[in-house]
Amino acid sequence: MKGWVIIVCGVAAVGKTLFSLKLAEKLGVEFIDLPNLVKEMKLYEYYDEASREYVVDFRKVSSKLGSILKGKKTIIASVNPFKPRGIPVRLVIVLRLRPDILMRRLIEKGYPEWKVAENMLAEIVDKPLYDTVRKFGRRKVIQIDVSEKNIDELVEEFYSVYVSSNLESLNAKVDWINELEKTDAYSEILQFLAKYG
Ligand SMILES: Nc1ncnc2c1ncn2[C@@H]1O[C@H](COP(=O)(O)OP(=O)(O)OP(=O)(O)O)[C@@H](O)[C@H]1O
Ligand SMILES: [Mg+2]
């Protein structure tokens, strides 16, 4: 049996784990949360105290996943895009979240302010899109705007366009600066980000 992966990317707390888990259930395929796997299998280089994160060794991740995913169909949730060695990447889904909602969610999750700002800036400058397109090419990447959307409805919506090969209809054109300018939160967000810019 020929295996493949779908990789779900995005900045912290956009909903990668939840979306991937539910999509894997819906498609009847395996699910892997990369941060967990990295810890369990020690696929990191070291733990960085300053950023409070494991620094991932993507060569190890690529080779390990290449062997454990052989012949399987899997949805992988990961902040950073990567290629499992020898396994076809069917699609890369980038989840996008309006930065004011992202800000609230990261603060709720107890992230330190500088990390809230770091993730918001990455989201505002389209870093997840840039990184995934650079690695996989534009045709493999689809963006989904998850702002103010119910996760079960999002999965259903994705499933229907996926099975009808109509993914482009879901592909979001994201312009957060333009969206934020319309909200009351804009100047507050700029002031917050300026502290860490
Ligand atoms: N569409 C949504 N609407 C409301 N809340 C959501 C939605 N998606 C995710 N959440 C909530 O946001 C939080 C983060 O979700 P999740 O852990 O899936 O994100 P993640 O991208 O995997 O985060 P991390 O980068 O930390 O692994 C959770 O508390 C989850 O319940
Ligand atoms: Mg997660």
Q: What is the pTM of this model?
A: 0.96
- What is the phi/psi pair of residue 71, to 5°? 80, 0
In sequence order, which residues have a C-beta less than 8 Å from that of residue 96 and are 6 or more positions away?
10, 14, 123, 128, 129, 143, 144, 145, 146, 147, 172, 174
Segments in the chain below pLDDT 70: 1, 197
Return the residue whose CA atom lies nearest to atom 10 of ligand 1. Answer: 15
The residue count for the chain: 197
Give CATH superfamily name and number for 4-194.
P-loop containing nucleotide triphosphate hydrolases (3.40.50.300)
What is the C-alpha separation between 97 and 105, in angstroms, rounded?
A: 10
What is the C-alpha separation between 112 and 132, in angstroms, rounded?
A: 26
Whole-number Å distance, alpha carbon 185 to ligand 2 midpoint, is 26
- State whether the beta carbon of 102 lies less than 6 angstroms from ligand 1: no
Q: What's the pLDDT score for residue 50? A: 82
Q: What's the pLDDT score for residue 160? A: 96
Q: What's the pLDDT score for residue 177? A: 94
Give the residue extent of every domain in the chain.
Answer: 4-194
Ligand 1 atom index nearest CA of 35? 27
Ligand 1 atom index nearest CA of 77? 22
- State whether the beta carbon of 128 lies less than 6 angstroms from ligand 1: no
Ligand minimally distant from the alpha carbon of residue 101: 1
The pair of structure tokens assigned to 80 is 């950073």
- State whether the beta carbon of 14 lies less than 6 angstroms from ligand 1: yes
